[in-house]
Amino acid sequence: GESVGLHLPTLSVQEGDNSIINCAYSNSASDYFIWYKQESGKGPQFIIDIRSNMDKRQGQRVTVLLNKTVKHLSLQIAATQPGDSAVYFCAENLGGGADGLTFGKGTHLIIQP
């Protein structure tokens, strides 16, 4: 069946650099996408979301880009800090009244000092 997936299971970046985490989705009916951050021993924490009628959305130090043509979603984190170390999940919600986010498998972001 259709699913949300991530390109890289682990991403290592230098502190202060920008991080880009990618996600591919295959369900063209999805109309809502979210990025979550999960630290060890904690539940997923909402970072930023984007609806399918948008291409880009910015938050504090984070930007989400949506390319519906190639079904690709990315999370950009500016000036990465040690506290950004976590597993990052993308998730999609199907349109048409269906509910229940479908999550990708996650990318582990490691910050090098």
Contacting residues toward another protein, per CB under 8 A: 31-32, 34, 36, 41-46, 49, 51, 89, 91, 93, 97, 99-106
Tokens 């539940």 identify what position?
A: 43
Whichever of 14 and 26 has its CB closer to another protein, that residue is: 26
Closest contact distance (angstroms) between CB of 105 and another protein is: 4
Whichever of 41 and 113 has its CB closer to another protein, that residue is: 41
Which burial class, exposed, middle or buried, applies to 1 when counting CB atoms under 10 A from its CB (0-12, 13-18, 19+)?
exposed
Tokens 């299971």 identify what position?
A: 9
Whichever of 100 and 113 has its CB closer to another protein, that residue is: 100
Question: In whole angstroms, what is the distance from residue 38 CA to residue 76 CA?
Answer: 16
